[in-house]
Structure 1
Amino acid sequence: MTALALHLWQSTLVLIAAWGLTRVCRRNAAEIRYWIWLCASLKFLLPFSLLQQLGDYLGRSLPAPITLAPRWIETGSALFVPSIDGVGGLNHSVLPNLTTIAITVWALGSVALLLRWLTQWLAMRSMLASAPYLPMDLPIPVRVTAAGLTPGVFGVFRPVLILPRAVMRELSASQIQTVLAHEMCHVRRRDNLTAAIHKLIEVAFWFHPLVWWIGANLLREREAACDESVIEDGHEQVVYAESLLHVCRLGVTARFAGVAASSGGDLKQRMTSILSPERASPIDQPRFALLLMTAMALCYGPVLAGVTTGAARATSDGGRIIFEAITLTSSEPVWWRDAKFDPAGRLSLDHVSLRDLIARAYPDSRVNGDPELIDRVYYDIRASWRSDSEASERSVYRELLKNILRTNSNLQLYVKQGCDIDCAWVPGELVAGRTYL
């Protein structure tokens, strides 16, 4: 629950930043604002902790240490994954019950929304199954419907254009062309795909009110982007505005799942924008730089924070390490590995070979040896250890490797440093294994 609260807190901050960026770009193209809102939506699917874990892995894999002041490491870690203390004042016996209730309510809400969405989608699909095709020079098939719908595009991967008979009968040829241009813009932009992705986010995070606010902004900006595209293609503004008014008069706004319709969004606001002589301004360099720096900070910031903390954790010298117990048992060869490192003095490795263990102790190393012993024999390892001071993960793996090779095999491990190509001619230092005299 703590991880979920942290993720929601971070996603909300990103959402507030996205709102600020859309205000900065309010005079620019709606396409820009649409992508800002979409990125805020996608943030709910990508916790910062995953990016920091990726950076932590990269940092622990570095062959050389990174020298950083401790305050930078602490600040970088706390910026994206701050600690959240436990909830005070609650009995620990009550928390499991509250967690169960919360999960049950969430699951019921998600299932209800998913069933509603699926029901609407199946109803539209059933309606279109009996609708006749209309041959038109368009990149997607056209279905003619008699129901009270507005023109729209249904489907994600195989979209179909919905064209009601009333629209074909009442609108002029030039008005129909503007409506078709609007719908083809939805197809080119793949709006149904992005709408479906956000719909899944709404299903998963239905309890967060700002998620629904994102959906309303996505709908408004996508319709504004298509309106701008139709005007830029050379269609007359008055004719286009009249066609939208006729469409709304003849049908109803599409409320079916998976349909991008020309009558979506705030109609009054759209009419004002379409008939206005002012057009969207191209984005200037300061705004572009602001968007670029924000995107880089959100994408690379957590990774860099993880790299610094991982590198510091892997390369710091914690003094002498003494293993109190090491259990080594044979394991079946499987495709997955599992490692659990506890800085308090516990280490658990499942299904690892000697090559895996060497790679953890000496990242980016090249290992020469008998494949039968190094690659094809797997172990489960359990170890407990203590150190004079805080020990790094890499130093613990190195000391573990020395103990295993010294007591359980006839292998010798040499480490060669300062060579890239002619390593065969560089003498190696014996760091693990038995020494024969």
Structure 2
Amino acid sequence: MSSLAMPGLLQSLVPALGWALLNFVWQGLILGLLAWPTLALLRQAGPRWRYAVCAWSLLICLGLPLAHLAWMLSGEAGSRMPSPVGALPAWLQAVATHLPALVTAWSFGVMLMALRLGVGLAWLGRLRRRAGPAPQAWQQRLDALALRLGLCRKVTLGLLPDLSSPITLGLLRPLVLLPTALLSGMPPPLLEALLAHELAHVRRWDYLANLLQSLVESLLFFHPVVWWLSGQMRDAREEVADELAAQALDDPRRMATALHELSLQQAGFAPRLAMSASGGKLLQRLERLLAPQAQTAGWKIALPALLVAATSLWMQTQPSLGANGRTGQPAPVSASLPSLPSMPQLLQLPVNARHMLLLDESSGAVLMAKDADAAVPIASITKLMTAMVALDARQDLDEQLRIEAGDLSARKPSAAHLAIGASISRLSALKLTLMPSDNRAAATLARNYAGGTPAFVQAMQAKAHSLGLTNTRFVDPAGILAGNVSSAAEVAKIAAAAARYPEIARISSEQSARVGVDGHARAVRNTNPLVGDLGWDIKLSKTGYTGAAGSCLTMRINSGGKPFTLVLLNADDSAQRQLDATRIRDRLASLRSS
């Protein structure tokens, strides 16, 4: 290009750029009108499709003004420019006279956006320099997760105290930064799920995609469609990462639980340019993880399913309605368990258990309840009543009892491996009933009751009646049969009654013990792994599980010097049951310290 043509090209650039930007106003609106119904139709098709639509739409947004600018500048400088201003319609003449001011304002905006982008990148560099090394055990966990995700690049794990969420940064040298508080404040399985989410971002090169996306935002900052598409793309990106992480873990529910637990962390910050597990719309992400079948169904079937899932999740995360219909005060679950507006923040905690109750023993206030009046199978929580009836009989605890063939259950074998013909004391049978939850030991206690097992079961029901339990029924002493039912509200009463027996409180709150079987000491452990665990002060405990009852747990615990009773019935598994209890314990501790 000759030196004489250069001034002409520069002189043509300003109006050409101005016309390109002006034309993109209506072009972007049309693109947005096309993208909106497309995204709506793809809502049930999975986040990858929506991400692709948003990415291509943003690319077209960038390409339209660039193509228009190139077309106007092609050939001889100014040869493709509109006719002289005087030949244009009056309204276009008015617009043309303001093109230099328009381009100047756009240039100023781009410079501000570029400055914002540069500051963000510099801040990420500062975070990398400030990060400390993570414990070697967690780096090894990260490496193992990377292999499960098919990630060949080396990813480093670092610690930083003032973050609110794990973040991922870096293109050639990816780094996952973990808030220091999460190492001690979140159960390892949940923290592992968050790390899997961050590794999914690394696998998909999302850091690079986010930088390019930010560049488009900087150049086309003036158009609302660009910001809308960019927001939709970021939301879809987080859902895709959730999906990949859940597949690697083979546990979508764990991923959902981790995201909700992370949402309760309020301190710290998450840089915009980094990939963060706290991004996107939480409710939408949880719906995707908890109801994945909706993504493959037809939209007429999937839409009601998602609405039901969203309604259920919303109800779990909202304060319960009180008797007066106002939020913040749960409805009474029984006459002896009054509902008081104590610590309503706990009502916002979702739990996996279908039925639960948290009771403040010092005030009698129900702090949290979920379908607490429903009569459902309670499995081995039955054994608390078995122990009370056995102690009420005041039989000799040192008397030797013999395991018989009738004590054997083909469906629920002996947890303590008691052989037929084995000899144990009544006290040992009581310990084996409460700690390893042995069914043969419970059956032996009942068979050696005056009148045998039928009289023992009648005594259990009479004891329930004396405690004012109207939703509780017992048909066997071990809790094997689904006919043993109670409600979360009444299980709390059973736990309160059992706690008045020093032997039950002591035995059920021991982590391990040695029990005499055939004259030899045998080591047994409590079925509740939380007993004796760091951070727990458990005064009474009993777990249970059957196919009909799910995973169950009742505990009396101390938190902040105050006693509480917790009941969890029909959780999916023991891990979910433990996560429910730990989350509630942590929230009690945080509320007491605040």
Q: TM-score, normalised by structure 1?
A: 0.52
Q: Distance in 1 between matches of 2:100 and 2:164?
A: 43
In the TM superposition, 1:48-87 aligns within 5 A as: 50=67
Deviation at 1:243, TM superposition (A): 1.3
Deviation at 1:254, TM superposition (A): 5.2
Q: Distance in 1 between matches of 2:278 and 2:30?
A: 32
Aligned with 2:63 (options 5, 27, 46):
46
Show the counterpart of 1:199: 214
Deviation at 1:24, TM superposition (A): 2.2
SS at match of 1:233: helix
Asked if 1:112 corresponds to 2:112, the answer is yes
Show the counterpart of 1:68: none
SS at match of 1:163: strand
Q: Distance in 2 between matches of 1:120 and 1:52?
A: 29
SS at match of 1:148: coil
SS at match of 2:275: strand
* Gapped regions of structure 1 (runs ≥ 5): 58-82, 285-437
Q: Distance in 2 between matches of 1:51 and 1:100?
A: 17
Contact 1:144–1:164 at 8 Å: present in 2 too?
yes
Deviation at 1:48, TM superposition (A): 8.3
Contact 1:167–1:250 at 8 Å: present in 2 too?
no
Show the counterpart of 1:307: none
> CA 1:282 to 1:196, structure 2 compared with 1: closer, same or farther past 3 Å?
farther
C-alpha distance after superposition, 1:192-214 (max 9, x if no partner): 11111111111111110111101
- Give aligned pairs, total: 256
Aligned with 2:241 (options 217, 221, 226):
226
Q: Distance in 2 between matches of 1:128 and 1:49?
A: 35
Q: Distance in 1 between matches of 2:290 and 2:28?
A: 37
Matched AA of 1:127: L
Q: Distance in 2 between matches of 1:43 and 1:12?
A: 12
C-alpha distance after superposition, 1:259-282 (max 9, x if no partner): 010010111222232222524229
Deviation at 1:185, TM superposition (A): 0.7
Structure with higher Rg: it is: 2
SS at match of 2:132: coil
Q: Distance in 2 between matches of 1:97 and 1:52?
A: 18
Show the counterpart of 1:185: 200
> CA 1:255 to 1:106, structure 2 compared with 1: closer, same or farther past 3 Å?
farther
> CA 1:37 to 1:87, structure 2 compared with 1: closer, same or farther past 3 Å?
farther
Matched AA of 1:145: L
Contact 1:128–1:145 at 8 Å: present in 2 too?
no
Q: Quick one: percent identity of the two aligned structures? A: 22
Matched AA of 1:31: R
Contact 2:164–2:270 at 8 Å: present in 1 too?
no
Asked if 1:89 corresponds to 2:90, the answer is yes
Contact 2:166–2:177 at 8 Å: present in 1 too?
yes
Deviation at 1:97, TM superposition (A): 5.1
Higher mean alpha-carbon deviation, 136-145 vs 207-216, is at: 136-145
Contact 1:159–1:187 at 8 Å: present in 2 too?
yes
Asked if 1:247 corresponds to 2:262, the answer is yes
Q: TM-score, normalised by structure 2?
A: 0.39
Asked if 1:127 corresponds to 2:142, the answer is no
Asked if 1:275 corresponds to 2:290, the answer is yes
Q: Distance in 2 between matches of 1:111 and 1:48?
A: 18
Contact 1:37–1:218 at 8 Å: present in 2 too?
yes
Asked if 1:101 corresponds to 2:116, the answer is no
> CA 1:232 to 1:269, structure 2 compared with 1: closer, same or farther past 3 Å?
same
C-alpha distance after superposition, 1:279-329 (max 9, x if no partner): 422999xxxxxxxxxxxxxxxxxxxxxxxxxxxxxxxxxxxxxxxxxxxxx
Task: Considering Cα pairs closer than 8 Å and 6+ residues apart, tell me whether 1 or 2 has the greater RCO.
Answer: 1
* Gapped regions of structure 2 (runs ≥ 5): 1-17, 75-82, 144-153, 300-594
In the TM superposition, 1:293-332 aligns within 5 A as: none
Matched AA of 1:244: L
> CA 1:89 to 1:25, structure 2 compared with 1: closer, same or farther past 3 Å?
same
